[in-house]
Amino acid sequence: MAETAYEKLSAKSREVQLVGDAQALLGWDQEVLLPKKAIAYRGEQMAWFSGWAHEQFVAPEVGDWIAEAESSCEGEQETANLREWRHSFDRATCLPKALVEEFAQAKVMAQASWAEAREKSEFEIFAPSLTRLIHLCREQAELWGYDDVLYDALIDRFERGTSSRQLSETLGDLRDKLVPIVEVATAKSGQALPWEGRDFPVEQQKAFNEEVARSIGFDFDAGRIDTAVHPFCSGMAPFDTRLTTRYDETDFRSSLFGVLHEAGHGLYEQGLNPEHWGQPIGNAVSLGIHESQSRLWENHVGRSRGFWEKWLPVAAQYFPTLTGVSVDEMYAAVNQAALSYIRVEADEVTYDLHILLRFEIEKAIFADELAVEDIPAAWNERFKQYFGLSVDDNSSGCLQDIHWSMGIFGYFPTYSLGNINAAHLAQAALDQNPEIAGQMDNGDYSGLLEWMRKKVHARGSILLPDYLIVEATGSPASSEALVNHLKSRYIRN
C-alpha cells in the first residue's frame, strides 16, 4: 500500500514524539527521583535521545516528503502540520552538526560555571562561558535568518511569530501603566501574616492541594503531583501530565500556588486533542500561551476573593491554625506586593518589571550594544531605576536565573506575554459567558475550563499564538485587561 508523503511525515512525527516522550520521562525523573550518583549516566542517555531526534529531523527524505506534501496539502490541520514540519526541518538542517555539538557541550560547561559564579557571587567566573554561548547563539541566529534584528531569530524558538519590535511595544506600554499601580500596591501591602509557626504538615498540604487541583479540573487518572526543588509541569504523553511543587511547613502558600500554577499548565496539556498527539498541532503552541494558562489559575482564580470565600473554610479543616482567619485577612495574605530582588518570588504586580529588565538587557546584548563584562553594571543601574533598590550582590542580581547558562535567550519575555494573555483571555471568557463569574463564586470552575478547553487547549498548534488569541477573544492581546485586573485588585480595593 503506497503511503503519501503526508502519511510518511505523520508516521515519522509520531515516532519522534513517542521516543521524545520517553526522554521526557527521563528528564522528569532526573528532577524528581534520580539517585545522586546516577546523574552522569542519565546525561549520556539524554544526549542519545537528542542525537536520535536530530537525526530523524534532518534526514534528506524528510525534506523531500515535506516538499511533496506541500504541493498538495489541504485543510486547516494539514496546513498547520506542514507549516511546523517545514519550520523544524529548515531550522534543524541549516545548522552544521559541529555547531549543534559545540552548543550542547558549551551549555554543560556554562551551567557548571554559572552555578559556581552564583554561589560565590562572582560574575567573572561565568563571563567566559556566557560570552561563548552568546557567540554560538548569534551564529545559530545568522544561520536561521531573521527579518529585522538578530534577536528575533532567538525569540522565535519560544514564541513563534512575535518579534523584538512587537515585544518592545507591548512591554514598554505595560511598564508605563504598571509603575503607578506598583507604587500604590507596595505601599499598602506588608501587614503581618495571620498565622505563625510550623502548622502546615506536608501530608495535609498534599491533601488540600489535591482537593483544590481536582476541583479546577485536573485529572488524577491522567496525571500526578510530586515533590521537586523547582515546581514544574511535564506533559509527557497523552493522559500523563505531571506536576511538581515544594513544601514549606511554616506556610502553605508556597506549595498551593505552585500547584495552582503548574496545574494551569497541566490543564492545557490535558486539554490538547489526544487524537492529534504526535502531530505538531497536538502540541501546545508557545510559551506565552502556556504561561497564560498557569497564570490564569494561579492569579485570576487562586488569588481572587471569591476563591477564598469558598476555600478558606476547607483550608481551615486541613490546617486548624487558620480557624478564625477572615476572608479579608487571607485575601490580603495571598496578594502582598513588594519590590524585591528575586524574580521567582515576585508578586503579580512587580513581576513584569523583572521581565522587562531582562528583555532590555538581552536586546542590548544581541544588538551589540552591551558587552558581557558590562552586564552587571547595566543590570544594577536598571534595577535601581525600576525597583529603587541597590543590588549589592550579583547572586541576587544578574546571576539569579539559570536561563542564560542553558543557552536560552528570548525566553524571558514569554513570561510577560503569559500575564498579558491570561488577563486578556479571562476577560474574554467572562465577557462571552457572564455566568462564569457566578459559577466561580460557588466554587464551580467548569465554565471557565470549558471555555479554555474549546478556545485554547483543543486548538493546539493549529494557529500561531497571535491568531489563536484573536480567534478566541475577537481582538489582539494588549496589556489593557492585565492593567484593569491589577487596578481592580490593588487600587480599587
Binding site for its own copies (CB under 8 A): 15, 18-19, 21-23, 25-26, 29, 33-38, 41-42, 44-45, 48-49, 219-224, 237-240, 277
Beta carbons within 10 angstroms of residue 342's beta carbon:
12
- Of 29, 57, 56, 60, nearest to 42 by C-alpha is 29
Least gap, CB of 119 to its own copies (angstroms) = 21
Give the Cα separation of 463 and 381 in Å (integer): 40
Q: Which is nearer to its own copies, 98 or 192 (CB)?
A: 98
Q: Which is nearer to its own copies, 173 or 219 (CB)?
A: 219
Q: Which is nearer to its own copies, 238 or 447 (CB)?
A: 238
- Of 171, 158, 166, 161, nearest to 284 by C-alpha is 158
- Of 93, 35, 41, 40, nearest to 63 by C-alpha is 93
Give the Cα separation of 137 and 152 in Å (integer): 12
Determine phi and psi for 211, rounding to 5 degrees. -65, -40
Q: Which is nearer to its own copies, 243 or 322 (CB)?
A: 243
For CA atoms 130, 132, 138, 143, the dihedral sign is negative
> 135 with 122: CB under 8 angstroms?
no
Catalytic residue among 159, 262, 291, 298: 262
Task: Give how far the C-alpha of residue 77 lies from the chain's centroid of Cα atoms, to the nearest Å.
Answer: 25
Q: Which is nearer to its own copies, 23 or 88 (CB)?
A: 23
Least gap, CB of 243 to its own copies (angstroms) = 12
> 341 with 348: CB under 8 angstroms?
no
Q: Catalytic annotation on 262?
A: yes
Least gap, CB of 22 to its own copies (angstroms) = 6
Least gap, CB of 218 to its own copies (angstroms) = 11
Q: Which is nearer to its own copies, 35 or 60 (CB)?
A: 35
Least gap, CB of 453 to its own copies (angstroms) = 17
- Sorted by sequence, the CB contacts under 8 Å of residue 365 that are 6+ apart come out as 134, 372, 375, 409
Least gap, CB of 363 to its own copies (angstroms) = 39
Instruction: List, by residue number, the catalytic residues.
Output: 262
